[in-house]
Amino acid sequence: MRPSKRLDRIPPYLFAELERKITAKRATGIDVISLGIGDPDTPTYAPIVAAAQRAVADPSTHTYPSNRGRAEFREAVAAFYERRFGVRLDPETEVMAAIGAKECIFNLNLAFLDPGDVALASDPGYPVYTGGPLLAGGEPVLMPLEPELGFAPDLEAIGPDALARARLMFINYPNNPTGAVVPDGLFERAIDLARRSELLIVHDNAYSETTFDGYVAPSFLSIPGAKEVGVEVFSLSKGYNMTGWRCAAIVGNAEAIAQFWRLKSNIDSGNFEAVQLAGAAALAPEVDAEVAAMNAVYARRRDLVCEALGRAGVQVTPPRGTIYIWAPIPEGFGSSAEYCEHVLEQAAVAISPGGAYGRSGEGFFRISLTTPDDRLMEAVERLRQL
């Protein structure tokens, strides 16, 4: 057996590696607290589960789904975008279902990159922004997110050669892993750049519903001109506690969505329509209160963690969105991986090394807030005692 050279191009997936280490430690009886993976710890909201139960019992969901998504789902996404973001979408041509944002982001690389083409990837960023282009035979070019610019990439700093070859740009706000919200004018500047090049902007919207302190995240598509040059990938995973369901939508530029559909009809057969009907139920106004209650829980955990880190001498700015705290590693460690290894060995707490999200993440670590309060506090106390 001989694996493809394509597979050799990608580094091992960070979280698979982390999970392997945690499992090995737990097998020896050690009580590891994992703050590594961003996976909500509380159940999917009850109205969504109830809708899914009804949908599973409905035989119309038992056949092959349509790739582009069931009409009820596409219509619910369009209604949500209008109500929540003031964005008008045609459910026929500007909305399509995806089997999670990860599938969608990966497949956009297959749909839009040829060998030699470039995908501009936020750095630090979700690992698929670099693994996707590599597997598709393209080339990821990192765009460092600058802390002084509010974690915006400096678009002026993209080299002319990379820009000439760029076909995709991946951006994401509220941002994983930094917790930053979209810096003023960034979406506008990205649209302006895309108009002057042959570039599709992909805004990864995984966290617009997970925000705090009264901050309301915009959609990329709410900026004039966005639909001409971009798409947004809207995931229900984090905001609706639906990571296991694999439910997302791609919205925006109709031509890009048509190409995505053309590709996908050769790759998969869509998402289970009962999942799509559950997703449609999630986007109804009645579920807003559940989302708000969940955000209050995350905001409380965020404050507990930031305060405890502050007492331990680690200064962090409390993020206004996402489920992550992004913090500098203490002095005396050679790399973020070395620090995280040390924390896992000495404190039995799993955290993510910033370097795993790209070169610019080096020197930082990420804590996920998706752990019950008492375990989260125990973990932070263990860190303080290191």
Ligand X SMILES: *Cc1c(COP(=O)(O)O)cnc(C)c1O
Q: Which helix (H) or strand (E) holds 146?
A: strand 139-146
| C-alpha triplet 36, 358, 237: angle, nearest 5° | 45
Site string for ligand X, 36-55 (x = CB under 6 A): --x-----------------
Contact call for residue 336 and ligand X (CB under 6 A)? no
Among residues 66, 107, 122, 235, the one that binds ligand X under rule CB under 6 A? 235
| Contact status: 126 vs ligand X (CB under 6 A) | yes
Q: Are 21 and 344 in contact (CB under 8 A)?
A: yes
Task: Give me the least distance between CB of 97 and ligand X, in Å please.
Answer: 11
- 204 contributes a contact to ligand X by CB under 6 A: yes
Tell the smallest beta-carbon distance from residue 172 to ligand X (Å). 5
Q: Is 248 in the site for ligand X (CB under 6 A)?
A: yes
Q: Interface with ligand X includes 295 (CB under 6 A)?
A: no
The residue among 105 and 350 lying less far from ligand X, judged by its C-beta, is 105
**CB 103 to ligand X: min, Å:** 7
30 membership: H or E segment, kind and range: none
Q: Does 107 bind ligand X (CB under 6 A)?
A: no
| Residue 366 is a binding residue for ligand X (CB under 6 A) | no
Q: Which stretch binds ligand X (CB under 6 A): 100-108, 192-200, 263-271, 344-352?
A: 100-108
122 lies in the binding site for ligand X (CB under 6 A):
no
Q: Which two tokens stand for residue 367?
A: 């804590």
| Complex with ligand X: residue 60 or 269, whichever CB lies closer | 269
Q: What is the amino acid identity at position 244?
A: G
Binding ligand X by CB under 6 A: which of 48, 78, 95, 101? Answer: 101
The verdict on 278 binding ligand X (CB under 6 A) reads: no
Tokens of 35: 């703050």
Closer residue to ligand X in complex, CB, 38/144? 38
The nearer residue to ligand X, 243 or 276, going by C-beta atoms, is: 243
At 322, which helix (H) or strand (E)? none
Closest among 217, 154, 145, 148 to 182, alpha carbons compared = 217
* Cα 362 to Cα 8, 84, 162, 208, 359, distances in angstroms: 23, 36, 23, 26, 6
The arrangement of strands across the sheet holding 230-235 comes to: 95-98, 248-252, 230-235, 200-205, 166-171, 118-123, 139-146, 152-153
Exposure string of 28-40, with b = 16+ CB inside 10 Å and e = fewer, is eeeebbbbbbbbb
- Which residues does residue 119 pair with via DSSP β-bridges, in sequence order? 140, 168
Question: Can you tell me whether residue 15 is helix, strand or coil?
Answer: helix
Q: In the numeric block, which tokens belong to residue 381?
A: 């106390």
By CB under 6 A, what part of segment 133-192 binds ligand X? 172, 176
User: 178, 211, 237, 370: which one contacts ligand X (CB under 6 A)?
Assistant: 237
Residue listed under structure tokens 């922004």:
129
- The window from 78-86, 131-139, 230-238, 366-374 that contacts ligand X (CB under 6 A) reads 230-238
Burial of 1 (0-12, 13-18, 19+ CB in 10 A): exposed
Count the site residues for ligand X by CB under 6 A.
14
**Interacting span for ligand X (CB under 6 A) from 163-171, 231-239, 285-293, 328-336:** 231-239
Tell me if 271 contacts ligand X by CB under 6 A. Answer: no
φ/ψ (deg, to 5) at 252: 125, -135
Residue among 126 and 298 whose Cβ is closer to ligand X: 126
- Where along the sequence are the contacts to ligand X (CB under 6 A)? 38, 100-102, 126, 172, 176, 204, 206, 235, 237-238, 243, 248
